[in-house]
């Protein structure tokens, strides 16, 4: 009987199998990097962190590292002193 194997979000409920229903909905597997145990959310967070680091460097700062902790510290010191922070001087 058509529809008994459809997924709960199916609008037509007229598919002969669950697989047919999934294909009609064009369901796709989400991003996953098995080798590095990364998912899309973690990858985006890492990309944003590196972009913030590059932004600091473009502004003349030299943070001690690429993590948010180092980036935020470099920005805070630069804002407080009015001089671009350089971690190699500390």
Q: For residue range 33-72, list pLDDT tens digits in order.
A: 666 666 778 888 999 999 999 999 999 999 999 999 999 9
Range(s) of the domain holding residue 18 = 1-30
Q: How many folded domains does the chain comprise?
A: 2
9/50 same-domain check: no
Q: Are 4 and 18 in contact (CB under 8 A)?
A: no
Rounded Cα gap, residues 70 and 48, in angstroms: 14
Same domain, 90 and 50: yes
- In a 13 Å sphere around the CA of 60, the CA atoms on its Cβ side amount to 7
pLDDT of 2 above 90: no
Is 76:59 a contact under the CB 8 Å cutoff? no
What's this model's pTM, rounded to 2 decimal places? 0.60
Terminal alpha carbon distance of the chain: 74
Same domain? 43 vs 87: yes
């Amino acid at each position: 009987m058509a529809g008994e194997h459809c997924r709960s979000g199916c609008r037509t409920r007229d598919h002969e199998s669950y697989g047919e229903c999934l294909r009609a909905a064009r369901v796709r597997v989400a991003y996953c990097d098995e080798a590095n145990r990364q998912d899309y959310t973690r990858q985006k967070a890492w990309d944003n962190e590196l972009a913030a680091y590059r932004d600091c460097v473009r502004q003349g700062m030299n943070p001690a590292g690429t993590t948010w902790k180092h980036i935020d510290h470099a920005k805070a010191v630069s804002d407080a002193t009015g001089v671009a922070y350089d971690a190699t001087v500390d």
